[in-house]
Amino acid sequence: MERARIAVAGASGLIGGALARSLTADGHTVVRLVRRAAQGPDEVSWDPERGVVDAKGLAGCDAVVNLAGAGVGNRRWTDAYKERIRVGRVRGTTALAEAIAGLPADVRPGVFVSGSAIGYYGDTGDRVVDESAPPGNGFLPELCVEWEAAAEGAGARTVLARTGLVVARRGGAWGRLFPLFRAGLGGRLGDGRQYWSFIALHDQVAALRHLLEGEGLSGPFNLTAPHPVTNREVTEAMARVLHRPAVFAVPAPVLRAVLGEMSGEVLGSARVLPTRLLESGFRFAFPRIEGAVRAAA
């Protein structure tokens, strides 16, 4: 991609921050969406919960990337927090799509990459799924369906990035695992047989850039490594890489008591393959769990 101007919503988060740094390092201009008054030409003011964005700030951008939203795993899923998760994602995505579509064609961004999640598929057990599979049942699948539908109508090439569990030292699910394992307190969750579809942060950023640059790529893409593993295998890889024992285990009833409804996402199984991403020519730097953990450690 020639030097481009790219707007990023969620640039202060784990993935958005890493993407912004990668783009900037290669000479691209990153325009950050901020929840306050913009303080220069590299910022755009917006309020995703209210569904408001300063569309003028997106004019002349080559692409818009939407990675904003309250963390799904940040706290217990009360009804109020689930509504906050839903509203921010759906209203914010709708506002961005409408803002892009409303711009004159000569200054309209040509690409809209909108975040989603493999939570779209629900609990798949041992069954392998890819982008051709239908949505599952429950809060996260229903959220993802609504979230993705909100991205429609942008009048630009639209990509839906269904992200898995990002392996990173800080932030996200793995940001909580690393300190536990380093302290010798790591172990499997539940029976450990549930599949975790992971992706190294390096590959997550590379995949987003591949989708930004890939002419003709649109629709859903699973951003997960091609070799999903069980929670037990994750535990073993973490123990090997960090040279710590992993003898502790958290029984499923304890997780349900502590996490409530969100425990279903920890104990549920998602065996997801990145079929369309591989078919588009993308190659993973860290296709297997041990390499992804070593890269993050």
- pLDDT tens digits along 205-216: 999 999 999 999
Strand-pair category, 229-230 with 165-167: unpaired
pLDDT the model gives residue 83: 87
pTM across the whole model: 0.94
Domain range annotation of the chain: 5-296
Give exposure, 11-49, as e/b (b: 16+ Cβ within 10 Å).
bebbbbbbbbebbeeeebebbbbbeeebeeeebbbbbbe
Yes or no: say if 58 and 110 are a contact pair by the CB < 8 Å rule: no
> Of 2.60.40.10, 3.40.190.170, 3.40.50.1370, 3.40.50.720, which CATH number belongs to 5-296?
3.40.50.720
pLDDT the model gives residue 179: 86
Intervals of the chain under pLDDT 70 = 70, 73-77, 251-267
